[in-house]
Amino acid sequence: MPKQLSETASSIIAILNNINELIVKSSDRKNAAEVIRAMRVYAKGKHFTIPEDKVDNFLSVLLDARPYTLTCILKDIATDVVEFDTKKK
């Protein structure tokens, strides 16, 4: 039976999905940057650890990278969020 994620982890995963849709479907990278910065503030407010180095990497390549590359970085961040949440419990 799969383990249930915390509400905070589920919210962060949903935000990452929204960021991916902004990039892939809407080609709106400016708002994607704002949303990931807001996600960082949300995680900090909830005392939830996110991979800051990967978020910084995402922001540094956001304007120049292909959508597939950005999707891979977002999936990597999501994997870390799930791993952290599982270890936290």
88 confidence band (pLDDT: 50, 70, 90): confident
Residue ranges per structural domain of the chain: 7-88
Spatial neighbors of 12 by CB under 8 A, at least 6 apart, are: 39, 42, 43, 48, 50, 78, 81
Give DSSP secondary structure letters for the chain. Answer: -PPPPPHHHHHHHHHHHHHHHHHHTT--HHHHHHHHHHHHHHHHHTT----HHHHHHHHHHTTTS-HHHHHHHHHHHHHHHHHHHHHH-
pTM (2 d.p.): 0.92
pLDDT digits (tens, 9 = 90+) for 3-29: 799 999 999 999 999 999 999 999 999
Is the pLDDT at 1 greater than 50? The verdict is: no
pLDDT digits (tens, 9 = 90+) for 34-77: 999 999 999 999 999 999 999 999 999 999 999 999 999 999 99
